[in-house]
Structure 1
Amino acid sequence: MQQVLDNLGELPTSTGAKDIDLIFLRGIMESPIVRSLSKAHERLEDLRLEAVQDNNIDLVTDILGDITALSVRDDSAAELSRILQEPHFQSLLEAHDMVASKCYEAVPPVELFNEELGNSSLMQADAVRMIGIRKKAGEPLGVTFRVEKEELVIARILHGGMIDRQGLLHVGDIIKEVNGRDVGNNPTELQEMLKDCSGGITLKILPSYRDAPAPPQVYVQPHFDYDPANDHLIPCREAGIGFKRGDLLQIVNREDPNWWQACHVVGGATGLIPSQFLEEKRKAFVPRDFDGSGILCGTITGKKKKKMMYLTARNAEFDRHELQIYEEVAKMPPFQRKTLVLIGAQGVGRRSLKNRLVVLNPTCFGTTIPFTSRRPRDDELDGKSYRFVTRTEMEADVKAGGYLEHGEYDGNLYGTKMDSIHEVVDTGRTCILDVNPQALKVLKTAEFMPYVVFIAAPEFETLKAMHKATVDAGITTKQLTVRTFPGHRH
């Protein structure tokens, strides 16, 4: 700018129109505002802009860890968490860190690509992609691999892991090279290679072009304990998560038929757990079949099975094996239960407790009236103690699935009809049921929403005295029987 002013000072000072314009321009150039702008521009030209840091991915990961707890109760924290986990934002940070750390590599020459593509029918010119990721040494990527046609393919991506957060790789992608090195076809060697890498990692892949599905909101409660360290079927023990009976788990991925991805509802990272199908199959096998033969990557290929294999579609098979694996649950606000189910041994007082609750709280509780095919006695009214129907009508309703439970005694049919439960619920009361435990398989649905209470039996002598009192009072004529099993005393 000073040079421009010097050149203007050497111009003649005549009064021509052109000279007046030059004098006016000189006045503008000498103004304090223009001089300040010129000095600021010169300082910016001398200043070399450099990245403040090259580990922004790690910084964002730490921030996400700090605000995870806040996201539940603070909308701003939840929005920030969503923005920081956006795939495009993660890719922008990744590109920035790679440039800042100068860990990028030159793009291979076109001739090299053409030569490689000519040697492989799989690698189309528009299919090869170079993916850059960044990690710390020893940090798990959250991805497992499988061999498919002599190629290493991404088998699963753990929800919430580093690869999942970046969104650059997908299930089905074929890994060709890592940092210019051929990966071969050994999944274990590739895992070790990636585990030891740090900083920027360049992957050459054949993408599957499959969009990752949105994680489902499925919550389950397991009915067994699980420790991945003791599971010889799991494809990667480090990727598994353990749980105890009764824990609450969120299932985030069920694409693999043998291994689900899940996390604890309260804290914990995502990991692998056995699927419903795999655990059912494992529990239905004879224990001596697990000798290690025929087992590959979490699948069971043994041929010896129990004669009655467990089938979820057949309730009779379910009754034989009683396999309890996972129970799907949902978090519900406080609400009135539709049914109250009393479960307990014969003679513990279920019927007495049911009648007492109905008498003391008739506006809150009600109960069903059983149906029977026997003829009413002289002192019996229809709808009071029983509802009397013909045997043909009752058999037709049983066949149509209209009864929760039914049985035959002394040549007559007795049962609890589904509609009678709805009649009590429709009045705004909770229906109290004293049923066989097998009926819970039908009741544990959104239709009935049961609250199940198990009444523990007292000591045997007390139970016998209670039953004797009911027999002496003429309430029942049924006699208790005691079974003795080898090795047990009563």
Structure 2
Amino acid sequence: MNKQQRFAYVSFSAGLYALLAALPSQLQPHVSRPEDNTFLQDMFGERGLHSLVKSLLSVHDTVAQKRYDPELPPLPEVIDDEENSVKIIRLVKNKEPLGATIRRDDNTGAIIVARIMKGGAADRSGLINAGDELIEVNGIPLDDKKPEEIIRILAQSQGAITFKVVPAGRDDVPLREPKVFLRALFDYDPSKDNAIPCKEAGLGFKKGSILQIMSQGDATWWQAKHEGDANPRAGLIPSKQFQERRFALRQPAVTQPLQRTLTGFRRSFRLSRRDRKTNKSMYESKKSQIYDMADVPTYEEVAPYCRQRGAKHRLVVLVGPTGVGLDELKKKLLISDPQHFGFTIPHTTRPKRNQESDGVEYHFISKHLFETDIHNNKLVEYGVYNGNYYGTSLDSVRSVLSKNKVCLMDVQPHTIKLLRTAEFKPFVVFVKPPPIERLRETRKNAKFLPGKDDKGSARPFTEEDFKEMLNSAEVMESHYGHLFEKVIVNDDLTTAFKELQLALKQVETETHWVPVSWTHS
């Protein structure tokens, strides 16, 4: 410390001691008892306190004058111009993975950084890039190491890790990828995927999970993280194209028993007693159910959506097997608030009966007009029974929605795809039965109604009805489950109704993830 610094330090110390000595008199107006004033004067005048302050100031000055910049090793005096440019990198790694995958070049045998995981330690450092060649890790040469051995070395390393790399040439600056969100339409467990380049780098998810895609630079393996996850590190997931190819190879041929199950799905039209003289299948969809089964669900691009005040309500579609209770749930919703909920009215070509009114039981139209609507794709679904057409039109859906009501529909599951448009934005609820033991218990005194409004054919449930209900539900969920946004088990009708009510209220007031095309209309 030079003379000027010493003088400044002595002056500062004297000023500090004077301040400490003056504090009791400054505090005196706030002290009520004489003994408290005496205590403060003794404490601030204590030499020990002055010595402590002096020591703290001395430590402060010592620390402040130190240099904490890292000392880099000197550059070598002789550099071989023939050698490739080598970069020495030191990263600090805690318990998290490094966030990079490696591969061996088939031609040169070099160990190459295959990809950098977005948000991982390597990515955050900005020092290691895809395409870099790894020469050494912590002084260990890698030329004779297998990728699995190197991964083990990295996994076991903690704290500072030193890499010697040959940087890859970089002519282009990578563009910042836009934010993309996908809804997963299948379950994925990387630990069971033998094709993934590094199981530890994989990201597992369940059907319905919302994934933020961090990179699609690799045609086979994308990088993603769960939406809203605080962990910035991405994981590997199979790309859409790769997963579609894998699913297509696994897709079995549709068998006759499955076809019979599909044709056994509950029908969606209300029929009078005389229209339901038999229980045979009446309706055939315009589009083949088997054709729809060939679809390969992987990912669907989505965006957040919240219904704005004054906008039309989302269409509510209920799906479930015969006897599960869809009619009961719809009726309870309508009774709970007839001004808020509405049903579609089917169309038919059969003659109107005396006790019927047009637009109440059915819309009665001519065969020519019905076939014209079929040709112009104006029907959600339709079929023929006893030589007459029956069906539900798109205009009947629009009619309910235009009255600022929530339109309730129950349809065959393969019809959902025809309704999944920006116009209707359907919220699909799958109502499934409980286990067969609960079916026997809860449906003991209930009646099985093969056709809507066909009360004359109502009968007690049979064991065969229960088995068919469970089998149909399993097929529906297996092949169309990726289209369901809500699943409700109708174990108890009152409980299921309350769960459905809550779900529909949330649809109207909260933000949901919907196909991105629905938000661009």
Please classify the TM superposition score into its range, dividing by the shorter chain length.
Answer: 0.5 to 0.7
- 3-state DSSP class of the match of 1:206? coil
1:144 offset after TM fit, Å?
Answer: 1.3
Q: Select the residue among 122, 140, 149 that pairs with 1:163.
A: 122
1:108 offset after TM fit, Å?
Answer: 8.2
CA contact (8 A) 1:341 1:434 kept: yes
Q: Select the residue among 249, 254, 273 that pairs with 2:237.
A: 273
Q: Select the residue among 201, 223, 228 that pairs with 1:261.
A: 223
1:329 offset after TM fit, Å?
Answer: 5.6
1:149 offset after TM fit, Å?
Answer: 4.7
When residues 247 and 395 of structure 1 are mapped into structure 2, their CA distance, relative to the original with a 3 A threshold, is same
Mean alpha-carbon deviation: is it higher for 147-156 or for 402-411?
147-156
Q: Which has the higher contact order (CA 8 A, sep 6+)?
A: 2
Distance 1:474 1:137 in 2: 69
Residue 327 of structure 2 corresponds to: 351
CA contact (8 A) 1:443 1:449 kept: yes
Return the letter of the residue paired with 1:255. Answer: G
1:210 offset after TM fit, Å?
Answer: 4.1
Any idea what the Cα deviations from partners look like across 1:230-275, whole Å, max 9, x if unmatched?
3322211221233455555433333334333233344555322334
Distance 1:116 1:258 in 2: 34
Any idea what the Cα deviations from partners look like across 1:195-248, whole Å, max 9, x if unmatched?
659444342212343415336241435542x43333322211221233455555
Aligned residue pairs: how many?
374
CA contact (8 A) 2:111 2:135 kept: no
Distance 1:248 1:105 in 2: 50
When residues 239 and 206 of structure 1 are mapped into structure 2, their CA distance, relative to the original with a 3 A threshold, is same
1:454 offset after TM fit, Å?
Answer: 1.0
1:279 offset after TM fit, Å?
Answer: 4.0
**Pair 1:236 & 2:198 matched:** yes
Residue 348 of structure 2 corresponds to: 372
Question: CA RMSD of the aligned region, Å?
Answer: 5.1
- 3-state DSSP class of the match of 2:415? helix
1:427 offset after TM fit, Å?
Answer: 2.0
Distance 1:472 1:134 in 2: 69
Matches within 5 A, 1:252-331: 252-264=214-226, 265-266=228-229, 269-285=233-249, 306=252, 319-320=292-293, 325-326=298-299
Distance 1:218 1:133 in 2: 34
Residue 14 of structure 1 corresponds to: none
Return the letter of the residue paired with 2:439. Answer: E
Mean alpha-carbon deviation: is it higher for 426-435 or for 139-148?
139-148
Q: Select the residue among 430, 436, 439 that pairs with 1:459.
A: 439
Residue 135 of structure 1 corresponds to: 92
1:465 offset after TM fit, Å?
Answer: 6.4
Distance 1:428 1:183 in 2: 69
Q: When the two structures are superposed, what TM-score results if normalisation uses the length of structure 2?
A: 0.56
When residues 388 and 319 of structure 1 are mapped into structure 2, their CA distance, relative to the original with a 3 A threshold, is same
**Pair 1:410 & 2:386 matched:** yes
CA contact (8 A) 1:142 1:164 kept: yes
- 3-state DSSP class of the match of 1:432? strand
Distance 1:167 1:340 in 2: 48
Return the letter of the residue paired with 1:459. Answer: L
When residues 204 and 459 of structure 1 are mapped into structure 2, their CA distance, relative to the original with a 3 A threshold, is closer
Any idea what the Cα deviations from partners look like across 1:81-116, whole Å, max 9, x if unmatched?
xxxxxxxxxxxxxxxxxx6053x4626856x23x24
CA contact (8 A) 1:358 1:366 kept: yes
Distance 1:444 1:272 in 2: 30
Q: Select the residue among 95, 111, 133 that pairs with 1:175.
A: 133
Distance 2:76 2:395 in 1: 73
Distance 2:115 2:78 in 1: 32
Mean alpha-carbon deviation: is it higher for 323-332 or for 359-368?
323-332
Matches within 5 A, 1:95-134: 100-102=70-72, 104=73, 106=75, 112-113=80-81, 115-116=82-83, 130=87, 132-134=89-91
1:324 offset after TM fit, Å?
Answer: 5.3
Q: Select the residue among 164, 169, 177 that pairs with 1:214.
A: 177
Return the letter of the residue paired with 2:404. Answer: G
When residues 199 and 467 of structure 1 are mapped into structure 2, their CA distance, relative to the original with a 3 A threshold, is closer
CA contact (8 A) 2:344 2:407 kept: yes
Structure 1: which 5+ runs fail to align?
3-31, 40-45, 53-98, 118-127, 287-304, 309-313
1:373 offset after TM fit, Å?
Answer: 3.7
Structure 2: which 5+ runs fail to align?
12-61, 255-286, 472-521
CA contact (8 A) 1:337 1:449 kept: no
Return the letter of the residue paired with 2:217. Answer: E
Residue 122 of structure 1 corresponds to: none
- 3-state DSSP class of the match of 2:404? coil
Distance 1:350 1:47 in 2: 76
Residue 251 of structure 1 corresponds to: 213
- 3-state DSSP class of the match of 2:416? helix
Distance 1:344 1:330 in 2: 27
1:402 offset after TM fit, Å?
Answer: 2.9
- 3-state DSSP class of the match of 1:384? coil
1:430 offset after TM fit, Å?
Answer: 0.4
CA contact (8 A) 2:358 2:364 kept: yes
Return the letter of the residue paired with 1:218. Answer: F
When residues 202 and 101 of structure 1 are mapped into structure 2, their CA distance, relative to the original with a 3 A threshold, is farther
Mean alpha-carbon deviation: is it higher for 376-385 or for 416-425?
376-385
When residues 251 and 468 of structure 1 are mapped into structure 2, their CA distance, relative to the original with a 3 A threshold, is closer
1:331 offset after TM fit, Å?
Answer: 5.1
Any idea what the Cα deviations from partners look like across 1:464-485, whole Å, max 9, x if unmatched?
9654689999645599995899
Distance 1:380 1:473 in 2: 13
CA contact (8 A) 1:227 1:242 kept: yes
CA contact (8 A) 1:347 1:466 kept: no
